[in-house]
């Protein structure tokens, strides 16, 4: 079973179109794994078959294509059912702080909860159709001194995979040219399928899978020092391009983008790639792709204003001056204040508000952040 390593996500970024600074709460996957255990989530849920069996496995769902917004909205919709089940089992409902909620998101991320499953059979075909197998043999180098798969330490560490795909892109481009081949474009599903096939090879069964991630606090400096910021400004800014991207999505985008980079592309060490990816990935919690106008409609249709703009039942004012909102803070509020909110709504005979889809939550967050 794959044991997730440490992921740290954190920092604060300034929105170019808003005066407010939206804070990103740092998340740590190792702390998140402890929260998953100490708050007794594992009594019902499992992650990669480790934990309870009465609720879905959060690490191996065959239909998983969850985004952070979909995870948060699904948890919100099912909260009353979960609370009733916990009450029936005598489990005290946790009150998650924003820090603990961020830690859980990081834990789910390190468990590849947000990645779609790969198909090993298709991955073998893609590996050869995309000419990877022309140079990279499983046990031996077949051409261009390309390292064989058995020497790919990146198979067990997705951050190293991104780093090596990036750093080797220049040499691979030259090798393609010598063989009169065009640059191979990959889709996220292509890479997921290739990795699914490679990781199930008998030669790779002993490779320890890990996920090592460091703080993203130095990522912005690297983004500038490595020259990324010279191109990624204005219409090419990454601020609104990263929402709901997984690490695999980012790896593929960087690979496909390599030929258009100024040559040679900047070399990145493993530690630098960890900093940069953490910085890039956490931005999706700040630069949500929501529509504030639609979000205001959601705020009204779900009757949020009934309490949060009138101060009924002691509800805090929303939007709140100077506050910032994200999937993380929504999940924290749900578990910290939700049970009390649910009880008061039942007393007032107000139905529990449910999101029709994840976009409604994303739009609501955009609206809350637009009113500062």
Identify whether residues 55 and 99 lie together within a single domain.
yes
What pLDDT is attached to residue 138? 87
Query: Which residue segment(s) compose the domain that 277 sits in?
Result: 120-285
Single residue among 234, 251, 285 that ends a domain in this structure: 285
What pLDDT is attached to residue 203? 76
Q: How far apart are CA 338 and CA 332, in angstroms?
A: 9
What pLDDT is attached to residue 372? 63
| CB-based contact 35:107 (threshold 8 Å) | yes
What pLDDT is attached to residue 363? 93
By the 10 Å C-beta count (0-12 exposed, 13-18 middle, 19+ buried), 335 is classed as buried
Which of these, 366, 364, 369, lies nearest to 305 by C-alpha position?
364
Is 149 inside any structural domain?
yes
| CB-based contact 275:216 (threshold 8 Å) | yes
Identify whether residues 144 and 256 lie together within a single domain.
yes
| CB-based contact 3:108 (threshold 8 Å) | no
Identify whether residues 279 and 292 lie together within a single domain.
no
Which of these, 333, 338, 345, 336, lies nearest to 303 by C-alpha position?
345
Identify whether residues 237 and 302 lie together within a single domain.
no
Is 3 inside any structural domain?
no
Distances (CA, A) of 155 to 111, 137, 164, 197, 288: 15, 15, 11, 11, 31
| CB-based contact 125:179 (threshold 8 Å) | no
Identify whether residues 168 and 94 lie together within a single domain.
no
Identify whether residues 233 and 336 lie together within a single domain.
no
What pLDDT is attached to residue 207? 58
| CB-based contact 207:156 (threshold 8 Å) | yes
Identify whether residues 144 and 277 lie together within a single domain.
yes
Q: What is the mean pLDDT of each run of 10 residues along the chain (372 residues)?
A: 40 35 59 83 77 73 61 87 84 81 76 70 93 90 88 71 82 87 89 86 66 57 87 78 73 84 78 76 64 92 80 70 78 86 85 91 89 70
Identify whether residues 217 and 255 lie together within a single domain.
yes
| CB-based contact 267:225 (threshold 8 Å) | no
What pLDDT is attached to residue 312? 66
Q: How far apart are CA 20 and CA 329, in angstroms?
A: 16
The distance of Cα 136 from the centroid of its chain, to the nearest Å, equals 30
Single residue among 285, 312, 337 that ends a domain in this structure: 285
What pLDDT is attached to residue 125? 95
The tally of domains found in the chain comes to: 2
Count of Cβ atoms closer than 10 Å to residue 360 Cβ:
21
What pLDDT is attached to residue 356? 93
The tokens describing 247, both together, are 């690490």
What pLDDT is attached to residue 212? 43
Identify whether residues 96 and 56 lie together within a single domain.
yes
Decide: helix, strand or coil at residue 147. Answer: coil
Decide: helix, strand or coil at residue 372. Answer: coil
By the 10 Å C-beta count (0-12 exposed, 13-18 middle, 19+ buried), 42 is classed as middle
Q: What angle do CA 152, 155, 160 make, to 5 degrees?
A: 85
Helix locations, the chain, DSSP H: 29-38, 68-88, 98-110, 120-129, 158-167, 169-178, 188-199, 219-225, 228-231, 247-257, 270-282, 292-301, 305-308, 327-347, 358-370
Is 177 inside any structural domain?
yes
Identify whether residues 259 and 298 lie together within a single domain.
no
What confidence tens digit (pLDDT) does each residue in 58-117 have?
Answer: 665 544 456 778 878 888 998 898 888 888 888 887 788 888 887 787 777 666 555 677
Phi, psi at 120, each rounded to 5°: -65, -40
What pLDDT is attached to residue 19? 35
Which of these, 255, 279, 372, lies nearest to 325 by C-alpha position?
372
What pLDDT is attached to residue 6? 45
Is 1 inside any structural domain?
no
């Amino acid at each position: 079973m794959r044991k997730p390593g440490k992921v740290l996500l954190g920092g604060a970024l300034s929105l170019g179109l808003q005066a407010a600074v939206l804070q990103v709460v740092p998340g740590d996957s190792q702390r998140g794994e402890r929260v998953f255990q100490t708050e007794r989530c594992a009594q019902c849920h499992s992650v990669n078959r480790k934990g309870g069996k009465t609720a879905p496995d959060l690490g191996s769902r065959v239909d998983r294509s969850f985004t952070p917004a979909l995870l948060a909205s699904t948890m919100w919709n099912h909260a009353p059912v979960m609370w009733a089940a916990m009450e029936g089992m005598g489990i005290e409902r946790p009150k998650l702080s924003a820090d603990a909620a961020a830690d859980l998101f990081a834990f789910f991320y390190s468990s590849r909860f947000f990645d779609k499953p790969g198909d090993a059979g298709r991955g073998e075909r893609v590996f050869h159709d995309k000419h990877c197998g022309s140079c990279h043999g499983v046990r031996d180098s077949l051409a261009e001194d390309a390292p064989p798969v058995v020497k790919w330490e990146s198979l067990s560490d997705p951050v190293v995979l991104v780093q090596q795909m990036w750093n080797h892109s220049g040499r691979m481009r030259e090798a393609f040219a010598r063989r009169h081949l065009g640059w191979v474009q990959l889709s996220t599903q292509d890479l997921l399928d290739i990795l699914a096939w490679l990781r199930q090879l008998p030669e790779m069964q002993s490779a320890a899978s890990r996920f090592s991630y460091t703080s993203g606090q130095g990522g912005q400096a690297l983004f500038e020092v490595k020259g990324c910021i010279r191109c990624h400004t204005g219409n090419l800014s990454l601020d609104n391009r990263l929402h709901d991207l997984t690490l695999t999505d980012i790896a593929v985008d960087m690979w496909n983008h390599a030929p258009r980079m100024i040559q040679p592309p900047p070399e990145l060490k493993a530690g630098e790639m960890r900093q940069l990816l953490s910085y890039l990935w956490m931005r999706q919690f700040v630069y949500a792709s929501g529509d504030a106008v639609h979000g205001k409609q959601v705020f009204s249709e779900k009757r949020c204003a009934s309490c949060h703009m009138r101060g009924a039942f002691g509800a805090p004012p929303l939007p709140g001056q100077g506050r910032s909102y994200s999937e993380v803070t929504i999940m924290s509020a749900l578990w910290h204040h939700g049970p009390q909110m649910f009880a008061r709504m039942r007393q007032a005979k107000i139905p529990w508000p449910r999101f029709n889809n994840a976009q409604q939550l994303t739009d609501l967050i955009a609206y809350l952040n637009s009113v500062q």
